[in-house]
Amino acid sequence: MTAAKADDPSDPRSVGEVGFDQLLVRLREVVTRLESGELSLEQSLVVYEEGVQLARRGQHLLASAEKRVEILVSAANGIETIPFT
């Protein structure tokens, strides 16, 4: 197996540096690879681990965006924070 570049979105070590749109594209690729049935068990585990990391990073990015919306609404109204739901 060859080493992936540090800035390669397919490299799970760079998950923290990937934007949400790129992350979502890569997560879809991971799902497609896993569903293909063409990977060995070991390869499947590596790809699955990457998918979990991508999903966690995506959840973090969405939570951060939600907080930003709450802050912006709060600042605009000058009264209270309105949760984004």
Residue-level pLDDT at 17: 72
Long-range contacts, stretch 6-12, CB < 8 angstroms, 24+ apart = 10/50, 12/49, 12/50, 12/53, 12/54
Nearest CA to 30 out of 43, 16, 20 is that of 43
For the cut 70, the answer to whether the pLDDT of residue 59 exceeds it is yes
Residue-level pLDDT at 1: 39
What pTM, to 2 d.p., does this model score?
0.67
Q: Is 38 a domain residue?
A: yes
Q: Is 34 a domain residue?
A: yes
Q: Is 5 a domain residue?
A: no
Host domain of residue 39: 12-77
What CATH number has the domain bearing residue 57? 1.10.287
Q: Is 4 a domain residue?
A: no
Q: Is 83 a domain residue?
A: no
Q: Is 82 a domain residue?
A: no
pLDDT band at 5 (very low <50, low <70, confident <90, very high): very low
Supply φ then ψ for residue 54, to 5 degrees: -65, -45
Number of domains in the chain: 1
Q: Is 46 a domain residue?
A: yes
